[in-house]
Amino acid sequence: MSTPAYGQKLAVQTWIEPPAIPFGIARDLLLLADGKPCAEAQSKWVLFDMAKKRPCKVDESLLSAYGTEDKTVFGGDKMEKITVPESFSAEKTIPLRRSDIDFNNHVHNLCYLDFALETLPQSQYANAAFKHVRITYKTALTENDTALCKQTVVDDRTVTAIFTDDGTLCCVVELR
C-alpha cells in the first residue's frame, strides 16, 4: 500500500456490505492516491432507536436506498480481534474535556486515537510513523468519566487499552 504525499488529492470509494446480522451493517472505505490504494477501513454500524434505547433491525428500504455490494475491503478475510494484554508498561489518566464529547454525550471516536498517542513515551511519540492503526470500540466513555489509558508493546505492535474509572474496557487501539 502506498503512502500519499502531503497535499496529494485522494479518491474515496465507499460501500456497504449486505447485512450479516439483522441489527447492523459494515461500511467499507478505500482511499486511493493516483489510483493506488493507500488506506482501507471498515466500520460496523448498528441502527439504534433513540426513544426505546435499543438496536433495531435494518429495514430493507434503507438498504435499497443506498444499495449494497457483495465485497469487502479486506478481501473476505475476517480480522482477528485485538487481544488486550494481561500487563502494561505505561499508564496515564486523561481527564475529558468538553470538546471531547459528541451530541450523544459520548467521547468522539477519534479522541481514543488521541488518547493512545498521548500515552506514548516521548521518545516513541517523537519518532512515530505508524502505518497501521486498528481501533475496536467496546463501550463509550461519557462526559463524567476519566480515560484511564494502559499501554504496552507486544511484538511489533503498541497496544493501548482505554478504561473508565471503574475499570470498564471502552476501547483498544493497536498501532504498528
| Three state DSSP letters for 23-81 | CEEEEEEEEEECCEEEEEEEEEEECEECCCCEECCCCHHHHHHHCCCCCCCCCCCCCCC
Reading the chain (176 residues) residue by residue, the pLDDT tens digits are 778 889 999 999 999 998 888 888 889 999 999 999 998 888 888 888 888 888 888 888 888 888 889 888 877 667 788 999 999 999 999 999 999 999 888 999 889 999 999 999 998 888 888 888 999 999 999 998 999 999 999 999 999 999 999 999 999 999 99
Residue 164 has what pLDDT?
Answer: 95
pTM of the model: 0.77
